[in-house]
Amino acid sequence: MGRRKRKGQPVHGWLIVDKPSGMTSTAVVNSVKRLTDAAKAGHGGTLDPLATGILPIAFGEATKTMQYVVDGLKTYRFTLRWGAETDTDDADGTVVKTNDSRPDEAAVRAVLPDFTGEIEQVPPRYSAIKVDGQRAYDRARDGEEFELESRQVWVESLDLVDMSEPDHAVFEVSCGAGTYMRSLARDIARAVGAAGHIADLRRTRVGPFDEENSISLDELRSFGHSAAVLEHLLPVETALDDIPALALTDSEASRLRNGQTVSLLRKMDLNRIADFNDGDTVLAVGRGKPIALTRYAAGEVHPLRVLNL
C-alpha cells in the first residue's frame, strides 16, 4: 500500500508568533498551519495558556532543527502575586493556601541566589510530566493524589525587576530547557515565608528568536492569504546560528544528501576543519543552502539529519 501523501503545501522555515493569552500552544500552531496551508508544522517549546510571548513555529524541514531551539536558553518575565498559592501555581488555578505575608525587597533579593545555577525543582502538578504513563495534569484533574519527583534544571540568571506594588513582584529569568516558571514563582514565595502564584507570564526569547522577530496571531490573520503570511517566514538555518558551518563542494553535498560520510583529510581541507572538535555538530552548506546537520569526528563529517531543501 502506498504512503499517504501529506495534505498541504511544502513550506519550510520558521515563523515566530507572539502567542496571545488564553490559547494553548497547539491551538496557535493549528491556526497558523491553516493560514499557511503548510503540510507540516510544530512548535519549539510549549507555553501555558495563561502565558504570552515568543512561540517559534517550525515548518517542513525546519522541524528537523527544532531540538536546537527547544534546548536553547529561554528568557521570561513573570509577575508573582503574593498572598495565595493555587493548585496550578498560576492565576488560572484554585486557591489552596493563603498567607498575609508581604516580603520586602531585601528579603526577596536575599533568596534569589538559591534559585540560580543548577537547582532542584518539583514541576507543577498541572504539567505534561508523565506519572506511570499518564500526564500529571490528567491525574490532577481527576483529583488523584500523587507526588512528582524533583529534577535538576538550569537557571542562568534571575533578577527582581520591580516591587513597587505590595501585592506583586516582577522577575526576569533566563533558563535552560525544562524549567517551570510556575514552580520557580511558587518556590520563591515559599522561601520568603509567603504564598504566591504567577499572575502574568511572558516569554521574550527562545534560543536565537526574540520579540523583534515576532508577529502577532491577529496580524497574521489580518493578511487574509497565505502568501502574505509566508513573507514573514525565516530560513530553516536561522535556528542554527550557534552551530559552526562547513561549505561543501557539489560532490561532497551529493554524498551527504545520500547519507554518506564526507572525508576532509586532504591537506587542502585542513583550514576548513581547523576550528572543529571531535563530536561537534556542524551545519553542512552547499551553494548557500543548508544540506545537512552533521557530526564531525576524526576528519570526517557524518550526516545526522539531511535537509531536503
Closest CA to 264 of 277, 253, 273: 273
Do the Cβ atoms of 62 and 305 come closer than 8 Å? no
User: Where is 105: in which H helix or E strand?
Assistant: helix 105-111
Catalytic residue at 48?
yes
Chain Cα centroid distance, residue 49: 15
* CA distances, 173 to each of 12, 115, 191, 218, 245 (Å): 31, 10, 17, 27, 30
What are the backbone angles phi and psi of residue 135, rounded to the nearest 5°?
A: -60, 140
Q: How far apart are the first and last CA of the chain?
A: 27
Catalytic residue among 48, 89, 90, 187: 48
- Look at the block and give the residue holding cell 507572539: 18
User: Which of helix, strand or coil describes residue 248?
Assistant: coil
- Look at the block and give the residue holding cell 507540516: 40
Q: How many CA atoms lie within 13 A of 134 on its CB side?
A: 10
Q: Which residues are catalytic?
A: 48
